[in-house]
Every structure is written in structure tokens, then in C-alpha cells.
Copies of this chain bind each other. A is one copy, B any other.
């Protein structure tokens, strides 16, 4: 799973959101590190809907502007859970390696 997809799913865990709302939520979630581009958002969103991880929710019109909401499906919830564990495992594996490497022995330039 790509990082944009991962964050979009995460942003939809607690409640349905619309496009622009997702962009803002992802920025918050990632402490400003990930700023979803608008073109990325809709492309990824369409793909997630096609894969059944996300569903169209209600459409709202607020102040004349359309808001198209999306919600997480059960399958999307499962995928996100799996992917999260996967990434945590990857990070653990790398951390172990990086910590085991300490002996100041065959370093690149010491």
C-alpha cells in the first residue's frame, strides 16, 4: 500500500469525510509531514473505491458547494489494520539492525 492510500484510510477511521476534509486531516495526522495533492487525492480515492476499501457516503451541499463524503468499509478497516502492523514490523526490523550495529568497528569512514 502506498503512503497516500495509507493516510487516506487512516483519516476515515473515525468518521466519513469529504475530499478537502481528508487533505486537512492527513496533514494533522502526519504532523504536517504529508500534504496530499489534490490530483493525488482523487486518483487514490477512486482506486480505493474500486478496490472496495472505501465507499461513497452522502452528498451534502453546504453554502452552495458540494461536499462528497467517503467512508471506510469493513474491508478497508481490515486492510489498514494489516498495513499498520506490517509497517510497524518493518520499522522494528530496521531498528533492531540499526541498534545492533554499534560496535564502532567496520564503519564507512571512522
Contact = CB atoms under 8 A, between A and B. Distances in A.
A30 to B, nearest CB: 7
Q: A-side binding surface: helix, strand, loop or mixed?
A: helix
10 cross-chain pairs, A with B, having the tightest CB-CB distances, nearest first:
A88-B91, A13-B97, A84-B94, A87-B91, A10-B94, A87-B87, A29-B93, A13-B101, A74-B108, A84-B91
| Range of interface residues on A (Cβ < 8 Å) | 35 or more
Interface of A: 3, 6-7, 10, 13-15, 29-31, 33, 55, 71-74, 77, 80-81, 83-91, 93-95, 97-98, 100-101, 106, 108-109
Given A72-B108, A108-B71, A109-B74, A88 B95 contact: yes
